[in-house]
């Protein structure tokens, strides 16, 4: 059963904090009594990484789900590369966008907000036949959360990412919420980046940490 509200979290690149942002908004929603679930279609990591710190485990801790429910065990790739590249290195089967969507089951009792977290940036390969833009287009979510760093270069990265999402079939760019992560209110550049994206580009922008409640309201 599809969640009442489907949210896809993407990033302007690797390491911008998608999982942290996802966990914060899920925790906030759950604390407010909202039924939530999270899915990570595929995750890649270093073989020596702590299992408790893997994306699926962090998301599962936020929703109360087992990490193998969040991400099927056969989609765990112990090579720190884009999932299809990791699959090739490990000699695993090819990954297809339709295949990972078919695997994406939700709780039978239904959930209010279902969150899907992609890997890497919007043009990072998620499968052998699609990137995060293709995944978003196939899922047709109600909201896309685009996570970006708050600092230097973020205006360019956000513009390129939003443009790619629009070209890839996202229904409206207005359903994209930009999250400036690791935001420091005392940092002049961070504040100016937020103002520019809001006023010059007309984007919906929230800053984390600090605006978890506002982001939760936007996705629910």
pLDDT at 145: 98
Q: Provide the pLDDT confidence category of residue 168 given band limits of 50, 70 and 90.
A: confident
pLDDT tens digits for 48-101? 999 999 999 999 999 999 999 999 999 999 999 999 999 999 999 999 999 999
Strands, E assignment, 45-172: 76-77, 113-117, 125-127, 130-131, 143-149
Exposed, middle or buried, 106 (CB in 10 Å: 0-12/13-18/19+)? Answer: middle
Neighbours of 174 (CB within 10 A): 10
Its pTM stands at 0.96
* pLDDT above 60: residue 172: no
Question: In this structure, what are the phi and psi dihedrals at residue 210, rounded to the nearest 5 degrees?
Answer: 125, -35
Which positions are catalytic? 40
Dmax over Cα atoms in the chain, in whole Å?
Answer: 48
Gyration radius (Cα) of the chain, Å: 16
Q: Mean pLDDT, to the nearest integer, of 143-155?
A: 98
């Amino acid at each position: 059963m599809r969640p009442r509200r489907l949210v896809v979290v993407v990033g302007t690149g690797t390491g911008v904090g998608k999982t942290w942002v996802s966990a914060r908004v899920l925790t906030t929603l759950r604390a407010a009594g909202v039924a939530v679930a999270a899915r990570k279609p595929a995750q890649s990591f270093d073989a020596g990484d702590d299992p408790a710190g893997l994306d699926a485990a962090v998301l599962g801790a936020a929703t109360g789900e087992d990490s193998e429910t969040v991400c099927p065990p056969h989609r765990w790739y112990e090579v720190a590369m884009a999932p299809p590249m990791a699959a090739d290195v490990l000699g695993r089967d090819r990954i297809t966008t339709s295949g990972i969507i078919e695997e994406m089951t939700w709780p039978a009792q239904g959930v209010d907000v279902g969150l899907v977290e992609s890997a890497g940036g919007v043009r990072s390969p998620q499968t052998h036949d699609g990137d995060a833009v293709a995944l978003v287009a196939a899922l047709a979510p109600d909201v896309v959360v685009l996570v970006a760093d708050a600092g230097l270069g973020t205006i360019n990265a956000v513009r390129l990412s939003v443009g790619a999402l629009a070209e890839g079939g996202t229904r409206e760019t207005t359903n994209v919420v930009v999250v400036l992560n690791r935001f420091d209110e005392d940092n002049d550049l961070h504040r100016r980046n937020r103002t520019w994206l809001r006023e010059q580009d007309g984007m919906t922008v929230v800053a984390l940490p600090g605006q978890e409640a506002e982001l939760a309201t936007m996705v629910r």
